[in-house]
Each structure stands twice: as structure tokens, then as C-alpha cells.
Amino acid sequence: MQLKRWRPLVLAILLNIALLSLSAPHALALQGGDKAPDFSLPATTAEAIKLADYVGKKPVVLFFYFAAFSQP
């Protein structure tokens, strides 16, 4: 009876471990001094801003403000 209660939790944990071991976050991580990959993000004006538009022309600072659009 106790096994039936814990079985979904154990299966969920094992599935998460399997999925995390298959993913390769270290392959996508940048180290200090690495060249940033080209990407684009939507601006507040609905246009796409691309990193390639600024490389070699202006300094680029990418800042993520946690919970910028959340209600207090």
C-alpha cells in the first residue's frame, strides 16, 4: 500500500534525472572571452533587434531584469 503512494513521485524523479542527463547545458554555455552567438530579440517597438547589427559598431550590454512585467 505504501508503494502505490510513492510510485508516482519516484517515477517523476527518475524521469527528471534521465532527461537532465540527456541534455547538454554545458555545450551551450559561454565562457568569459567567448564570442557571443548571433541572436535577435523583440524590442518594445515590435521590431527585431539583432546582435549582428551592433557587432563592431557599438558596445552591447544584455541585461535581464527579473520579473520586469509582473504585477507587485
What pLDDT does 39 receive? 86
For cell 508503494, the residue is: 3
Rounded to two decimals, what is the model's pTM?
0.43
- Which residue from 29, 10, 27 is spatially nearest to 18, judged by alpha carbons? 10
What pLDDT does 27 receive? 59
What is the Cα–Cα distance from 41 to 23, expressed in whole angstroms?
A: 24
Tell me what percent of the residues of the chain surpass a pLDDT of 70.
Answer: 74
For cell 520579473, the residue is: 67
